[in-house]
């Protein structure tokens, strides 16, 4: 799913070129219902293409799609091996209970805090934890640390 940040589509970055009123923006986002959005695992703001190209010219060369694919295949293999005796193949299938039981209290704290502050729904907290496991698999570490949990939350918290 994709949506502009506002009806005129110019409110990214500093948003100086956006001509929408606050009411127009609110109405626009109200069309995406909370319960539907809650089921979308990763929610991120994507900068305009012109800026991506500019960053690329100025910075390090980016990974190719083939390189990224190889990392994803490797991460999925790690997860499949970890879950083999439970009959799960990936983080989406694993039991939430198992995942929580195999994380430290310290690593889980950002999720618990976000829950208490109602920045995450119960479903959101579950998804953020699964994302944290995926990040750990991509980084080749045995279980998510605090950084992975915090990033799992950030990947679901739309601006």
b/e code 7-28 from CB counts within 10 Å (16+ = b): beebbbeeeeebebeeeebeeb
Q: Which residues within the stretch 106-135 sit at the binding site for Zn ion (CB under 5 A)? A: none
159 neighbors 43 (Cβ within 8 angstroms)? no
In the complex with Zn ion, the residue whose CB is nearer, 26 or 69, is 26
Residue 6 beta carbon to Zn ion: minimum distance, rounded to whole angstroms:
3
Binding region for Zn ion (CB under 5 A) out of 8-16, 40-48, 96-104, 129-137:
8-16
CB of 142 to Zn ion, least distance (A): 45
What are the CA-CA distances from residue 140 to residues 31, 71, 105, 118, 133 (Å)?
39, 10, 20, 31, 10
Indicate which single residue of 20, 75, 99, 114 sits in contact with Zn ion (rule: CB under 5 A).
20
Asked if residue 11 binds Zn ion (CB under 5 A), the reply is: yes
Decide if residue 28 touches Zn ion (CB under 5 A): no
Q: How many residues bind Zn ion (CB under 5 A)?
A: 5
CB–CB of 94/88 below 8 Å? yes
Backbone angles phi, psi at 117, to 5 degrees: -80, 0
Interface residues with Zn ion (CB under 5 A) are: 6, 8, 11, 18, 20
């Amino acid at each position: 799913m994709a949506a502009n940040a506002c009806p005129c589509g110019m409110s990214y970055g500093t948003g100086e070129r956006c001509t929408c009123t606050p009411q127009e923006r609110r109405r626009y986002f109200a069309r995406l219902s909370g319960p539907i959005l809650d089921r979308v695992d990763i929610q991120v703001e994507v900068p305009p293409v012109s800026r991506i190209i500019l960053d690329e010219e100025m910075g390090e060369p980016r990974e190719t799609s083939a390189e990224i694919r190889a990392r994803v295949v490797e991460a999925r293999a790690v997860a499949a091996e970890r879950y083999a005796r439970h009959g799960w193949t990936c983080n989406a299938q694993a039991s939430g209970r198992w995942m929580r039981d195999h994380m430290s209290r310290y690593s889980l704290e950002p999720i618990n805090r976000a829950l208490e502050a109602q920045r995450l729904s119960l479903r959101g907290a579950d998804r953020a934890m699964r994302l944290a496991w995926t990040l750990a698999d991509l980084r080749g570490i045995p279980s998510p640390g605090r950084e992975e949990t915090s990033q799992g939350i950030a990947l679901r918290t739309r601006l």
